[in-house]
Amino acid sequence: MVTNLPQDKIGGARSFLTRFLPRIILAVIALIIFFLFLNPFVIIGAGERGVVLNFGAVSPAVLGEGLHMRIPIMQKIIKMDVKVQKSQTDAEAASKDLQETFSTIALNFHILPEKVNWIYQKLGADFKERIIDPAVQEVVKAVTAKYTAVEVITQREKVRSEIRELLKQRLMVYNIIVDDFSIVNFKFSNQFTQAIESKQTAEQLALKAQRDLDRIKIEAEQKIAQAKAEAEALRLQKENVSAQLVKLRQIEASLKAIEKWDGHMPKVTSGAVPFIDVKSLD
């Protein structure tokens, strides 16, 4: 059964809509604009976490990556970076033998994502300057003091590993994770560096002198050995000389003289004419 509305009621409704509808639409639009102006949405980017503040108080809730809603005026969202970050700190220390060292420490770290609200509440956003830099300087001083200057150089990898492990323990208390650690620059005082260079120069000169001395000794030993060999050869030659050998050498000399003689007596002589004993050739 269909009931027909009176025409006056239909006309009144139309008149009401015609009169108030634009106002309603404007009110809704204004409300939406005002709502958007209050920024009720927040986007947490990749590698970030959101700390929720309710009228300034830190909430236990931690916002992950993505789009989130917040209560305007009441809530404020602080974004915290949880990606691996780099911290570089200059550290001075003294070795076990009281030699000054100067180093630049590079530290890669990140904060625990689920503890960003604790870090913001206890440490603040500038925790690097307040926590990491002092911890690095303190650990470097403590570890360097256990080694002499020479050990710091010769056992550098061991010193590096010890500093890294101690830093891990120290920063873990603050929910900061050490990912990597390196000593990008390391040097001693100018006086100690000059002393090392002088020592190396002296060692090189001493090594050269030792090598020269060894060479001279070897050459002398070679000459002695050569002289001994020559003396031994002469001794053996003397032992082998006999009367028959001497007579043989005389015969060989006489034969060479006969071969060279042309059969003529020299016209001018000075002294006696060489005489060859023919009987000796028998």
Buried b or exposed e, range 3-20, using 16+ CB within 10 angstroms = eeeeeeeeeeeeeeeeee
Of the residues 44, 60, 81, the one at which a domain ends: 81
Q: Are residues 183 and 197 in the same domain?
A: no
| Domain identity same for 94 and 171 | yes
In a domain, 276, yes or no: no
Question: Which among 51, 55, 57 is positioned nearest to 81, based on CA atoms?
Answer: 51
The residue out of 81, 104, 120 marking a domain boundary is: 81
The secondary element (H helix, E strand) that includes residue 263 is none
Helix (H, G, I), strand (E, B), or coil: what is residue 186? strand
Whether 128 and 140 share a structural domain? yes
Of residues 213 and 235, the one with the higher pLDDT is 213
> Which range of residues forms the domain containing residue 158?
85-188
Residue 282 lies in a domain: no
Question: What secondary structure does DSSP assign to 123-150, as a single string?
Answer: T-TTHIIIIIHHHHHHHHHHHHTTS-HH
> Distance between terminal CA atoms of the chain?
179
| CATH number of the domain within which 122 lies | 3.30.479.30
The Cα 167–Cα 133 span in angstroms is: 11
Whether 94 and 183 share a structural domain = yes
Tally the domains of the chain: 3
Model confidence at 242, pLDDT cuts 50, 70, 90, reads low
Please check whether residue 278 lies inside any domain of the structure.
no
205 and 215 fall within a common domain:
yes
> In this structure, are residues 106 and 143 in contact, taking their beta carbons and an 8 Å threshold?
no
Length of the chain: 282
Q: Where residue 1 falls among pLDDT bands split at 50, 70, 90?
A: very low
Nearest to 74 by CA among 48, 40, 116: 40
Q: Are residues 176 and 208 in the same domain?
A: no
259 domain residue, yes or no: no
Within 13 Å and on the Cβ side, how many CA atoms surround 94? 4
In a domain, 198, yes or no: yes
Q: Do 130 and 212 sit in the same domain of this protein?
A: no
Averaged confidence pLDDT in the chain: 79
| pTM check: above 0.95 | no
Is residue 221 located within the same domain as residue 150?
A: no
Q: What is the reported pLDDT for 2?
A: 46
25, 133, 151, 169 from 158: Cα distances, Å: 74, 22, 10, 17
181 shares a domain with 89 = yes
Q: Are residues 73 and 166 in the same domain?
A: no
Scan for tokens 């060989």, then name that residue: 252
Contact 161, 143 (CB under 8 A): no
For residues 96 and 148, give the distance between their C-alpha atoms in angstroms, rounded to a whole number.
Answer: 5
Contacts of 110 (CB under 8 A, 6+ apart): 82, 83, 84, 85, 176, 177, 179
Assess whether 59 and 77 both reside in one domain: yes
Q: Could you tell me if residue 264 is inside a domain?
A: no
pLDDT tens-digit map of 203-222 = 666 777 777 778 888 888 88
Question: Is 113 inside any structural domain?
Answer: yes
Query: Do residue 109 and residue 175 come from a single domain?
Result: yes
pLDDT at 83 over 90: yes
In a domain, 115, yes or no: yes
Which of 65, 81, 97 is the C-terminal boundary of a domain?
Answer: 81
Answer whether residue 167 shows pLDDT above 50: yes
Query: How many of the other CB atoms lie within 10 Å of CB of 250?
Result: 12
For residue 33, how many other CB atoms are within 10 A of its CB?
Answer: 10
Q: Which amino acid is at 205?
A: L
Among 22-36, 69-83, 125-139, 218-232, name the one with the lowest average pLDDT. Answer: 22-36
Looking at residue 193, its pLDDT comes to: 65
pLDDT in tens, 27-67: 778 766 766 666 788 999 999 999 999 998 999 999 999 99
